[in-house]
Amino acid sequence: MAAIEHTSLLHDAKGAGDFACTVCREEVALTPFERRTDDHGQVYDLWMCLRCHAILNATHLRKVRAGDDFLSLQADSSNDFYAVDSAYLSTVADQIDACGFFDYLFKVYPGQRRGVLIDFGAGRGIVAGCGAKYFEKVYAAELSLNVLRQVQAVMPNRDRVIVTDDYKSIPATFDCIASMHVLEHLPNLRDILDALVARLNPEGTLFFQVPMLLRAHLVSVHYTFFNEVSARSLCRQLGLDVISISYDNDLDFLNCISRKPSLNDQARPK
């Protein structure tokens, strides 16, 4: 096996260190995958990581590496994307009722503890609001809090929800990290996930949903396209055991739920 991998990496590696795999940090064992056009005619240079098989938006990862300020790009796009009006605010409770993420989580992982949830990249806060039905405390973390605060003000169970733009200062460890449609936006996703998972309690979960690779999902602020291989690889690198990988085939989204081993499992020799 080692020989096969070595040969393949040797022949196909084209990475020049001008960007890195967002999932495994690889800079050399990267290779051109294909070029695709988005809905506006922009051509994207997509590369594949030969170690974890993530598909990477090389066009924009190179720009980030060259110094583009992706955080302000993200904050601007999140404010525009998530802008809300009073008509929207009147639907918040119904939207929270319609959110099925946690019912699904409890179904595939009945052992899920219901202490502290962090919704990382909370957007408008619907997932956090849904989590507040089940968890004792919910941290809703987002780059820009304008919209999130408006939605929180009309949310059921809002006293359980704490909004923050500084996840590092949260004074808690987590039973669940939920991150819905966020990881694809983060060129530095490993820095963030490494920090969050370090504060995940034993037997706690990481639950994420990401858009799969198709034209409608090609936008400049989507840096990573996960598939099943790269999702499993990410979990392995984070020291998590995969519980479930599933697909929303109507929308072409991938769901991944993984779990930190129990203290007993962690003590056991591998």
Can you give the binding site for Zn ion, defined by CB under 5 A?
Answer: 21, 23-24, 26, 49, 51-52, 54
The helix (H) or strand (E) run that includes residue 174 is: strand 174-180
Residue the block writes with tokens 């052992």: 111
Strands (DSSP E) found in 54-149: 55-57, 116-120, 137-141
Longest dimension (CA), the chain: 61
Closer to Zn ion at the Cβ: 13 or 108? 13
CB of 94 to Zn ion, least distance (A): 40
Return the number of other C-beta atoms located less than 10 Å from residue 122's C-beta: 31
Closer to Zn ion at the Cβ: 59 or 78? 59
Closer to Zn ion at the Cβ: 56 or 161? 56
Q: What angle do CA 263, 23, 35 make, to 5 degrees?
A: 155
CB 85 within 8 A of CB 73: no
User: Nearest CA to 141 among 196, 103, 97?
Assistant: 196
Sign of CA dihedral 237, 239, 245, 251: negative
CB of 200 to Zn ion, least distance (A): 22
Closer to Zn ion at the Cβ: 19 or 135? 19
CB of 168 to Zn ion, least distance (A): 25
Closer to Zn ion at the Cβ: 54 or 116? 54
Distance of alpha carbon 104 from alpha carbon 86, whole angstroms = 30
CB of 28 to Zn ion, least distance (A): 11
Closer to Zn ion at the Cβ: 21 or 117? 21
CB of 24 to Zn ion, least distance (A): 3
CB of 51 to Zn ion, least distance (A): 5
- Partners of residue 47 on adjacent β-strands: 32, 56
